[in-house]
Amino acid sequence: MINSLINASAILDLGMGWNDILLKMALPIILTVAVATFVGLERQNVGKSAGLSSHVLVALGSVGIAIMQRLMYEAQIESGNFTNPEGQRIIAQVVTGIGFIGAGAIMKKSSIGIQGITTAATVWVTAMVGLILGSGYIILGSMIGFVMVTLILFRDFKRGFNPLKSAKSQGKHHDNE
């Protein structure tokens, strides 16, 4: 029994103190999820194709990949074995992949025109906020997230719409974006 507890603690040892875990993992995840939750709720409440779960899942995947890449990089530097930089190309693949997800949100309807551009943009920027925060640039990622949330708030309040309540409950309808 004691041996299994010792082995379990060894598995959970990330080689970091609590301060590092909080700054390198918890804080980026919390900030990313906060931004993605707000943006996703707003998109969901105006009836767009990508809502809360889509934005949060994209953001979680992005911040997770960025944190993993950062930890891999730091481990290679610490070991003195920085011979394989291929692991540092992961983020570039996320940027491309999120572009495809965003393209899925864009549709052309002959009677209305093109719809979903704003939703595609919010998915992409939410993912980029996750990548930036997960890479350790807390101030930059927070600033971009703040600007994104502020832009959405001002746009919706200007329209007389509360972004955290559904359009139906407010008797409002958003124009095509």
Mean predicted lDDT score pLDDT of the chain? 81
Q: Where are the alpha helices (DSSP H) in the chain?
A: 2-12, 18-21, 27-45, 52-79, 90-105, 117-134, 138-158, 167-170
CA distance 2 to 77: 34
| Average of per-residue pLDDT across 5-30 | 71
Here the tokens at position 28 are: 């980026």
Q: What is the pLDDT of residue 176?
A: 46
Spell out the residues 6+ positions from residue 24 whose beta carbon is closer than 8 angstroms to its own: 16, 67, 70, 71, 136
Query: Tens of pLDDT along 105-145?
Result: 787 666 777 788 888 899 999 999 999 999 999 999 999 99
Here the tokens at position 117 are: 């551009």
Query: Tens of pLDDT along 74-90?
Result: 888 888 776 666 666 88
Q: What is the pLDDT of residue 141?
A: 97
Q: How confident is the model at residue 50 (pLDDT cuts 50, 70, 90)?
A: confident
| Average of per-residue pLDDT across 19-43 | 91
Residue 176 identity (one-letter amino acid):
N
Among residues of the chain, what percentage have pLDDT more than 90? 34
Q: What is the pLDDT of residue 72?
A: 84
CA distance 56 to 10: 31
| Average of per-residue pLDDT across 38-43 | 90
Q: What is the pLDDT of residue 132?
A: 96
Burial class (CB in 10 A: 0-12, 13-18, 19+), 126: buried
